[in-house]
Amino acid sequence: MPAGTKIGAGRTVALNDAPRAGLRVVVLRWLLAALLGLPTAAAAEEYRLAPGDVLRVMIVASPDLSVDVPIEMGGTAWFPLIGPIMAGGETLQDVRERTADAYASTSLSQSVFSGAGLPQLLVESQVHVSVASYRPIYVTGDVSQAREVPFRAGMTLRHLLALASAAPPRDTARPVSAGEVEAAATAIAYEYTQIWRQKSFLGIASAEDYDRIFVTRGAAFDDLIAVEQSILEETIAEIDAQKQRLREEIARTEARIAVLGRQRDNETEGLALDEQDLATVQGLFSRHLVPASRLTEVRRSTLVTASRVFQIDVALENARGQVATLEAKIVGIDSDARVQAWNALGQAVARLHQRQSDLEKLLAAEGASPLEGVSVAQTEVTVFRKDVALPPDDVMPSLVLLPGDIVEVRRRAYGAKIATPESEANP
């Protein structure tokens, strides 16, 4: 008989304990049951940055100043050249505006020759601040291993438990349960989604890579795919945005090169006239027709013009070098991302082999089908935000999580009485 389902912090979730042939997603069964009702997702409050978050500042005019900046315990983030900015307790938009204003009022000195420098003023559009990484979400309690789950924007409680593959520690003194088998199957599916995402990013994914994810069918597997698809799209969008900002800076620099080129043509023409004037005055001076002061004045004018031509040449060379650096950086973004994807792919394949081995051990335990004599655990989920437990009515599968949240999973001992609507009505 179908079991009733209640989901909330510190509240029991009753599950159906009738075994079925094939693998069933028991450890996350409450997620599927919750989908039968209307969603009650709590909208995430406007996020305030906190110590542990890492900001990324990108200054397209000066790649050397583009770095990751952690928010320290006191809430400050130390940016190159401008120093500390208070970020803790602020929104990302607030920090972006204050950082851009601070850089916009700062001039950068670019090396031009023998330690000399030409000042360059930044504009706000050249400064981009984003979040490189948020504080993780912590999963603890009756899970195989307490762990940190990297935060992604829009992550819900349903997504988190799908990624965490929460399952109780294995008790070798009792028969293998369907819940353990399903947790192992979900862990395998998770690694397959990782492999599929990395291969998709690299452009080598096949339909078979996608089909492998479905070790069995269930809401958990759909959630895994949804999360990985979001991560893939977010990664590609961020890479495209970085390259677009660099292309825009290249366009601005090339426009400056064009202006400098016209200035050089004008100054070169003026220098030629100054040199002709100097030759004429020198001839007159040799015949004592002009005073020495006139010759000195013409020489000084010629040297000033020559100096301006030299400075423009240096600025042109500097700008052309900046274009080359920015173009190399665009290529480097793609190259670095692909190297990271290949590394992540290798790690996922290695973990997959371990997950498959774990599942085989469970299936081989005591030489019996793990789906016989199943006993199902009752699950209680509590979410702590800023060290305060959220109200039980808010803790639904669709709850939008925030960085730093702590999710505690509690499961009743195997063999405990399972609550059903009938048992509650007839105690």
* Interatomic CA distance for residues 320 and 314, integer angstroms: 10
Average pLDDT for residues 210-235, to the nearest whole number? Answer: 77
Structure tokens at 140: 């603890």
**Burial, 269: exposed, middle or buried (Cβ in 10 Å; 0-12, 13-18, 19+)?**
exposed
Structure tokens at 112: 């031009």
Say what the pLDDT of residue 365 is.
58
Say what the pLDDT of residue 9 is.
35
Structure tokens at 237: 């969008």
User: pLDDT by residue (tens digit) across 290-346?
Assistant: 898 888 998 999 999 999 999 999 999 999 999 999 999 898 888 888 998 998 888
Q: Which of 172-181, 227-236, 284-293, 378-387 has the lowest mean pLDDT?
A: 172-181
Name, in order, each residue with C-beta under 8 angstroms of 189's C-beta and a sequence gap of 6 or more: 213, 214, 215, 220, 221, 224
* Interatomic CA distance for residues 192 and 201, integer angstroms: 14
User: pLDDT by residue (tens digit) across 52-111?
Assistant: 899 988 887 666 677 888 999 889 998 888 889 999 889 988 998 888 888 877 766 543
Say what the pLDDT of residue 248 is.
92
User: pLDDT by residue (tens digit) across 349-374?
Assistant: 888 888 877 777 777 654 434 333 33
Tell me the β-bridge partners of 421: none
Average pLDDT for residues 199-227, to the nearest whole number? Answer: 79
> What φ, ψ does residue 264 adopt, rounded to 5°?
-65, -40
The model's pTM: 0.49
Helix intervals (H) in 287-378: 292-364
